[in-house]
Amino acid sequence: MSNIALNSIPEDFIKLLQNQIGLESDNLLKALQSNSYTSIRVNNSKKIENFIDRENISWCEEGFYLKTRPNFTIDPLFHAGCYYVQESSSMFLAHIIKEIGMNLKKINVLDLCAAPGGKSTLLLDNITNDSLLVCNEVIKSRAQILRQNIIKWGKSNVLITNNDPVDFQKLSNFFDLIVVDAPCSGEGMFRKDKNARNEWSLENVNLCASRQKRIVHDVFQTLKLGGFFIYSTCTFNESENMENVRCFLKELPISLVKININESWGIKQLENGCFQFYPHLTKGEGFFCAVFQKNEVEISNVYAKKVKPKYDFVSKSNVDILKKWVNTENLDFLHINQGIHAIPVLNIPDISLIMSKLFVKFSICSNVVRRIV
C-alpha cells in the first residue's frame, strides 16, 4: 500500500491529536504516512499453512504478519476459511479472552456489532466447543457478509442475529461475555482507508461517541452478574474512548479488569483494563479497548423468563439420510422456519430461547442441511 500524504489527513484531527498526546503526535503522524502491515489469523480447526514467510503476532497465537500481501481473492484456502485476513491490533481480543478465563468453560457470548466477522471467528477459536456465540449485525446487507464468513469458518456453535441492540433486553442476564466493537469515526484506519480520512469530522466524532453510549446502555442488562464486557473502537480520540469509559463506570455497575501484557509488545496501557494501540509503537493500526466486569450486586433487571420450548425434531429416518453427508455427532436436527437446522445438543435450550426473543438470520448448519434434504 502506498504512503499517504500528510495533507490528506484532516487538519482538525491533527490538532486534536496534538492536544491529546503532545509531541508524540509527530511520530504517530509519520506512522500514518507509512505502509501498513498485512496480517492473517489461521483457522485453528483446519490448520492448513500455506504461508512460509511469516512472523508471529505476539498477542495472538493464531495470528501472523506476512512480509508481502498476496492476492487473497484467488486463493482457494482463503475461500475455504482456512485463514482470515484481519488487522493485527484487533487480534488482541484473543489475549483478553485467555486473561479473563473465558476460554476454559462453557459460556454464552454476544458479539454485538459483528460484521464482517473478524472478531466473531476469533471468538469461535477461543471459546470451548460447547459454548454458544451469538453474532449480531443490525444492517441487513452487512449481516449477509457476516453470514458468509461464519459459514466458511465451519463451527456449529454459533447463531447470526439481525437485531437492534435494544432488542437484546429480552434476554436479560443471559450472556457471560459481551463484545462491543462499536461503530466509530475510524481514525485508526486512516493509513489503510481513504474513505475513513475523507468522512472524518469533529461532528462525526461526537455523533459516534453518543451512539456508542446508547449501544452499550441498550445491551448492558443482558450481561450476567459477574460477566465480562469488552468495549473497543478503532480510534484515538478521548471522546470515543476514555471519556466513554468514564461514563460507563459512572452510570453502570461495572469495574475495570486488570489485564497483564508484555511491555515489549508496545501497547500503551492507559489505566487498568484500558489499552491503546498506536501505529508508531506497535505493528498494526489504531485500536482502543477496555475490559469491564459487571459487579455482583442485585439490580432491578427483568430477567428472561425460562419458557418451556416446543421442539420440532427431524425424524430419525431423515437423520439417517443426513448422516451420509453431515457429521451428526453431538448434533440434533430441528425444523425451524421452513428449514432444518443442525444444532449442538448442549446449546438447544439457549438457542430455543434466543429464537423465541430475536430474529435469527442463520444457524450455521442450516443451509448445508437444506440443500441436502
Average pLDDT over residues 327-350: 78
CA distance 249 to 268: 20
pLDDT exceeds 60 at position 126: yes
Q: What is the bridge-based pairing of β-strands 274-277 and 38-42?
A: unpaired
Statement: the pTM of the whole predicted model exceeds 0.85: yes
CA distance 38 to 84: 11
H or E segment and range at residue 216:
helix 202-219
| Domain range 88-294, CATH architecture | 3-Layer(aba) Sandwich (3.40)
| Dihedral sign for Cα atoms in the order 315, 366, 44, 224 | negative
Residues with active-site annotation: 234
What pLDDT score does 300 carry? 45
Place of cell 494501540: 277
What pLDDT score does 338 carry? 66
What residue spans define the domains of the chain? 88-294, 316-372
What pLDDT score does 3 carry? 62
Average pLDDT over residues 198-219: 97
- At 254-276, the pLDDT tens digits run 999 999 999 999 999 999 999 99
Cell digits of residue 121: 471467528
CA distance 232 to 244: 11
Before 279, cis peptide (omega within 30)?
Answer: no
Average pLDDT over residues 74-85: 94
- At 154-173, the pLDDT tens digits run 998 999 999 999 999 999 99
**Identity of the residue numbered 35:** N
